[in-house]
Amino acid sequence: MDGYIQKPYEGKTKRYVQTLELRDDPEMIKEYRKWHSEEFHWKEIRDGIREVGILEMEIYLLGTKLVMIVDTPEDFDWQKAMDKLATLPRQAEWEAFVAKLQGCRADARSDEKWQMMERMFHLYD
């Protein structure tokens, strides 16, 4: 494993880490991966993520467990951004589409599905 190169940003940034459980079905997990690929992603969803001020977003998978890492500017307001994201084109449609793979309600917003994780360790200076 070579790790993942991170894009540098000017100024301070904040990081949010969330988790979500997928349905325990290999075919559904394969489908979830497909719809998050560069080839099949919904452009409106990626555009909306950027529009609300998110600088970088990554999702990692282990078995059925997803971990999402979100980097934002220091002054980013999470709730305000999620409220705006929920109103953007195709966002509700996307959430309903992936909900069947995530095992969530079809009308759940992204911030209702993904559970915020608490940082319990940091490599201190």
| Model pLDDT for residues 53-78, shown as the tens digit of each residue | 999 999 999 999 999 999 999 999 99
Give the pLDDT of residue 83. Answer: 97
Tally of structural domains, the chain: 1
Identify any residues that bridge with 103 across adjacent strands, giving them in sequence order: none
Give the predicted TM-score (pTM) of the model. Answer: 0.92
Q: If DSSP codes are grouped into helix, strand and coil, which group holds residue 101?
A: helix
Residue 84, in any domain of the structure: yes
User: Is 7 a member of any domain?
Assistant: no
The gap from C-alpha 89 to its chain's centroid, in whole angstroms, comes to 17
More confident of the two residues 124 and 34: 34
- Domain of 56? 13-116
Closest CA to 64 of 88, 28, 90: 28
Please report, for the domain that includes residue 99, its CATH number.
3.30.70.100
Lowest mean pLDDT among 57-61, 98-102, 103-107: 103-107
Question: Who's near 46: CB < 8 A, 6+ residues apart?
Answer: none
